Amino acid sequence: MRKWLSYSSPLIITAVLMSFAFKPKVAKVPETLKVTEPTLVLFPKNKTIPKSMLMAPPFLGSTYIGFKEALAFKESQGNYFTTNTLGYLGKYQFGIGTLQLMGVYNATRFLNDPILQEKVFHTNISRNKWILRRDIPRFVGKEINGTVITESGILAAAHLAGAGNVKKYLRSWGAYDVADSYGTSIAKYMRKFSGYDVSHIIPKRNPKV
């Protein structure tokens, strides 16, 4: 018995000491440091963030990339995988008929292929520039309905309403204006997307992707 006590006593004492050593200490917070009400740096409980702060088109200047991204934001908020209520597809909201003109016949593949969508957009811009090749130099710099006509405005309007309708708009000096099913008109796109540099886009007759 004594032998057992001689061996176990040091172990018991060590265990007791260690239990005191690792016992957590609870720090007492001074009353002056306690937070009892919202401070000025806390976000107000019922504050709402304006929609304009949550969603804004990317600012990429007046480059071609700025042009296409601003147009994409207007069309779909830049969403490659969306289809609107009228069946228009993707980031730039193409209809099936326009896709077929450029050699794209599989809508599902198109909707799920961002690289293809970018190629189609560029190809369509080249196609519209060919159709409007005589009207662009004739009308750029002129003023119609209070808007100075620019090449990028013409091409954006052609994306919205088709190059043929843009020809009619220009040649009627704005008397012939059409709008899409959501009420967006050629004149609005002419104004909204004016001033971008799309000069490097080469006009192509019946281009294919």
Handedness of CA 28, 32, 33, 38 (dihedral sign): positive
pLDDT tens for each residue of 87-132: 999 999 999 999 999 999 999 999 999 999 999 999 999 999 999 9
In a domain, 149, yes or no: yes
Q: Which residues pair with 144 in a beta bridge?
A: 147
| Distance, first Cα to last Cα, the chain | 95
Confirm whether pTM is higher than 0.75.
no
Whether residue 162 is contained in a domain is answered as yes
Whether the CB-CB separation of 203 and 133 falls below 8 Å is answered with: yes
- Residue 139 confidence (pLDDT) above 60: yes
Q: Does residue 11 form part of some domain?
A: no
- From 22-31, 41-50, 59-68, the region with the lowest mean pLDDT: 41-50
Q: What is the number of structural domains in the chain?
A: 1
156 confidence band (pLDDT: 50, 70, 90) = very high
Which pLDDT belongs to residue 181? 87
Q: Which domain holds residue 126?
A: 63-192
pLDDT score recorded for residue 38: 42
119 touches 191 (CB < 8 A):
no
Residue 46 pLDDT: 40
Any domain includes 131: yes
Please give the average per-residue pLDDT across 187-191, as a whole number: 97
Instruction: Assess if residue 85 is contained within a domain.
Output: yes
Domain assignment present for residue 8? The answer is no
